[in-house]
Every structure is written in C-alpha cells, then in structure tokens.
Amino acid sequence: MFVALVLLILVAGIAIGSISKSLAFDFGEYIHWILIFFIFLIGMDLGLMESRMEKIKKSWKIGSLIAAGTVTGSLFAGVILHYFLSIPLLLAASVAAGMGWYSLTGPFLAKTAGAFAGALGFTSNFLREVLTFIFYPKMKDKTSAISIGGATTMDTTLPLIARFSSSENALVAFIHGFFISALAPILLSILSSLM
C-alpha cells in the first residue's frame, strides 16, 4: 500500500512536471532543502541510538564494502552488455559507470562520446533511480539492496531506504552514496580518456 502511494506521488509529480515545463520555478532547490532537513532527521535518529559509535564504525565498513560491490557489479554489467549487445566496450562501461547519477552521466557522455552516448547514459541511469523506487521496498536483503540505488542513495533514494529499512541502513546508504558520488566522476573521466 505504501509503495503504491510512493509510486503514485512520483507519477503525479512527473505528469505535473511534464505539463508545466514552461514554469520558471526551480524544483531542484526545493529538493535540496527537503533533503537537508531529511538528513538532519537521520542524524538525529542516530544520535538518539544506544551504542551509536559502534554502529557508526560498522556502518562505515559495510557502506564501503557495498560501494565496492556497486562499482564492481556495474562495470561487470557493462562488460557483459558489450558482449551481448555488441556495444563498444568503453561506451558500455561508461554508461554503467554512471551508477545512477544521470544528471552527470548524460551531459558528460554527450560531450565526450556524442549524442547517442549522452542519451543512453542519461536514460539508463535515470531508469536506475526510478527502478530503485519500485524494487527496493520489495527486496529481502535490505542492506545489499542499497547497491541498486548507486549514487542516489546519498540523496534522492535515501528517504525511501530509511522508510523501508532501519536508521542503521540509512547511514550505510548515505556512506555508500558518498563513496559512489566521489568515484563516478573519476571513473567516467578515466573511461572517456581511453575512448
């Protein structure tokens, strides 16, 4: 029921957004401030926890391990797709290396590898974010499933993870997203320089 409500709100937002393209409001600014408030609440929740320092230390380890899994898995998926879809290896790896950060991958690939690469980079990573909203609540292993959100687990999908998991996992997701957000631009730069 709650998942359906979340998806309904997302679809309503997209529908209203697409028919109000001419409006001059910057919704990105609203998202930014709501996120800051939300992350503040997550911090508060952690501060209220007992044995908080132990949990934070453990979250760092788990967050970095999941980030390693996300990078390895995404790049491996790029290699597999290169073989099965006959897409150039570096292009497939670059699209996969965006790891959900569509606002970076789309423009970056459009500039370095052309319009098709840019469109593919944007839509693939955009869909990764949307699919995380759909699939995360249904996943059994909520900790490993943080990886499906890629870079978005530090911001846009963080509230979803916090709502459907625990505050400990919310911290893991934040740390994971932090690592991925730092690694995605580096990986994209390396891969595009090899193209």
Partner 1 sequence: MIEYLLSLVLGFTAGFLIERLKGVGREKEFLSKGMTASLFFLIFFLGLDIGRKLDLSEMIQVGKLSIVFAVMTMVFSYTASKILLRGFRCSSR
Place of tokens 């990986």: 187
Query: In the complex with partner 1, which residue's Cβ is closer, 28 or 193?
Result: 28
DSSP 54-72: HHHHHHHHHHHHHHHHHHH
Place of tokens 């529908």: 15
The distance of closest approach from Cβ of residue 188 to partner 1 in the complex, given in angstroms and rounded to an integer, is 14
The distance of closest approach from Cβ of residue 19 to partner 1 in the complex, given in angstroms and rounded to an integer, is 8
Q: How far is CA 137 from CA 58, 80, 99, 142, in A?
A: 23, 27, 19, 8
Query: In the complex with partner 1, which residue's Cβ is closer, 40 or 88?
Result: 40
> Contacts by 71-79 with C-beta closer than 8 Å and gap 24+?
71/99, 71/180, 71/183, 71/187, 73/147, 74/99, 74/150, 75/187
Query: In the complex with partner 1, which residue's Cβ is closer, 41 or 186?
Result: 41
Query: In the complex with partner 1, which residue's Cβ is closer, 47 or 193?
Result: 47
Query: In the complex with partner 1, which residue's Cβ is closer, 109 or 192?
Result: 109
The distance of closest approach from Cβ of residue 108 to partner 1 in the complex, given in angstroms and rounded to an integer, is 16
The distance of closest approach from Cβ of residue 70 to partner 1 in the complex, given in angstroms and rounded to an integer, is 4
- How is residue 165 annotated by DSSP? S
Query: In the complex with partner 1, which residue's Cβ is closer, 3 or 195?
Result: 3
The distance of closest approach from Cβ of residue 85 to partner 1 in the complex, given in angstroms and rounded to an integer, is 7
CB 158 within 8 A of CB 38: yes
The distance of closest approach from Cβ of residue 174 to partner 1 in the complex, given in angstroms and rounded to an integer, is 7
Distance CA 175, CA 171 (A): 6
Distance CA 59, CA 54 (A): 9
Report the chain's C-alpha Rg in angstroms.
17
